[in-house]
Amino acid sequence: MLVLGIESSCDETAAAVVADGARIRASVVASQVLTHEKYGGVVPELASREHLRAIEPVVEEACQRAEITLRDVDAIAVTEGPGLIGSLLVGLVYGKTLALSLGKPLVGVNHLEGHVHAVLLENKIDRAAGKTVPGVSLPAIALVVSGGHTSLFYVSSESATAEQPQFHYRQLGHTRDDAAGEAFDKVAKLLALGYPGGPVIDKLSRFGYAGVVDFGRVRMRGNPLDFSFSGLKTAVLYRVRGTDLAREAEERRAWRRTVDKPTLDEIRARCSQATLDLIASFQQAVVQDLVERTLAAAEGSQVENVFVTGGVACNSLLRQQFTDRCKGLGLPVFFPSPALSTDNAAMIAAAGYYKLLKGERAGVSLTARASFPLGVDQH
Ligand code: KG4
Ligand code: ZN
């Protein structure tokens, strides 16, 4: 079954063609980074406008690269939510119109479920759990960590056959304020390091000493598997405000206005050791928090695997610390490749495929949902 996936929940317009929920024939992502860069974050109105411009060429390019026409597609899967409503609407209306005009089945997909499927897409499900065939096995704990989300899920499959697994999700925890990626982006904005903040902090942190600033552990009242990153972000602000670090950041901000695309070396040359140490310590604190809570969830629920997915899953320290800690525990950990960790439509097509197998179909009433919890009891 050839599924055309469409994703437009935030600032990436994406389309992909995926065969049988497993083989990516094409995956095209049009990033809006250049549009939002000067604001240090996504501007919703600009995002919708960019999606409108990009949606048609992106879908066309996906079909071209897959060497198919839209008529060859068997079904269309589109992100339904959560996300920016104006952004979601562009992809959703486009997908709905295509499905109607071509007479193809349509299915709506939860963006968070898509991120989980980015892991499943690249790592075949191993029914002989952890024996000879390398592959993921369920149940698993999935950490979805991006610019918009930081949530822990218990993912299981209650399928009768390996070919038709049906996935179930239970949310175990989520962020009560900022998402981890959002904290990276805001700290980078404060220090005038660039946008998006995650990749630049990741690379610059290699030149800093993470032990210099002790941010302490984030303690959560109530559910210990919930996250909170706004306090950490504010702690960085307090260390910067009124100090040499703030003056240095303002100089960097002025300099950045004069250069088009600064290289990492150029940015680094304008960072004092104290700034590099601060961001390395901040990154270490975020990563440690993500690792500890995820492993606590894994320990508490006796799972077979850990999945780490979403834009922040690209972070090199996060990957290294998860790999090291999970190795020590004998717990396999899986990440999508970097291209599938950040927003893409292949993960939407893959998640949609299993819904289609189940017989799910969306009608014309399918609407975008800014808030669309996954695995939460709605009663
Ligand atoms: O999944 P994604 O593309 O979009 C959302 O659904 O939010 O994630 C984007 C987020 C941004 O906040 C970005 O700063 C963060 O992922 N990110 C990273 C890294 N690469 C991207 N954060 C930390 N380290 C990275 N290497
Ligand atoms: Zn995402």
Q: Ligand 1 centroid to 308 CA: how many Å?
A: 13
Question: Which pLDDT value is given to residue 161?
Answer: 60
Which residue among 113, 146, 347 has the greatest number of ligand 1 atoms within 8 angstroms of its CB, and so is best to mutate? 146
Q: How far is the CA of 131 from the centre of ligand 2 (A)?
A: 32
301 beta partners: none
**C-alpha 10 to ligand 2 mean position (Å):** 8
- The DSSP-derived string for 110-177 is EHHHHHHHHHHHHS-B-TTTTSSS--B-SSEEEEEESSS-EEEEEEEE--SSSSS--EEEEEEEEBSS
What pLDDT is stored for residue 296 in this prediction?
Answer: 97
pLDDT, residue 172, reads 98
pLDDT for residue 159 = 67
Neighbours of ion ligand 2 (CB under 5 A): 146, 343
Cα 275 to averaged position of ligand 1 atoms, centre (Å): 21
How many angstroms does the Cα of residue 88 sit away from the middle of ligand 2?
Answer: 12
Q: Which tens digits make up the pLDDT trace of 16-56?
A: 999 999 999 999 999 988 888 888 888 999 999 999 999 99
- By DSSP bridging, strand 333-334 and strand 167-174 are unpaired
Q: Say if residues 359 and 42 touch (Cβ distance below 8 Å).
A: no
Query: Which domains does the chain carry?
Result: 2-122+339-377 (3.30.420.40), 180-334 (3.30.420.40)
Of ligand 1's listed atoms, the one at least distance from the Cα of 145 is: 1
User: pLDDT averaged over the chain?
Assistant: 93
Q: How many CB atoms lie within 10 A of CB 355?
A: 23
What pLDDT tens digit does each residue of the chain (379 aa) get?
999 999 999 999 999 999 999 999 999 999 988 888 888 888 999 999 999 999 999 999 999 999 999 999 999 999 999 999 999 999 999 999 999 999 999 999 999 999 999 999 987 665 544 433 456 888 999 999 999 999 999 999 876 466 677 899 999 999 999 999 999 999 999 999 999 999 999 999 999 999 999 999 999 999 999 999 999 999 999 999 999 999 999 999 999 999 988 999 999 999 999 999 999 999 999 999 999 999 999 999 989 899 999 999 999 999 999 999 999 999 999 999 999 999 999 999 999 999 999 999 999 899 999 999 999 975 5
Q: 143 pairs with which residues across the strands? A: 152, 308
Ligand 1, CB within 6 Å, residue ranges: 10, 146-148, 181-182, 184-185, 196-199, 202, 310-312, 314-315, 342-343
Name the DSSP class of 313: G
The answer to whether residues 77 and 5 touch, using CB atoms and an 8 Å cutoff, is: yes
Give the pTM: 0.95
Beta bridge partners of 18: 3, 24
What is the pLDDT at residue 132? 37
Residue identifier of the C-alpha nearest atom 22 of ligand 1: 198
- Residue 130's pLDDT is what? 42
How does DSSP assign 17-48, residue by residue?
EEETTTEEEEEEEEE-HHHHGGGTS--HHHHH
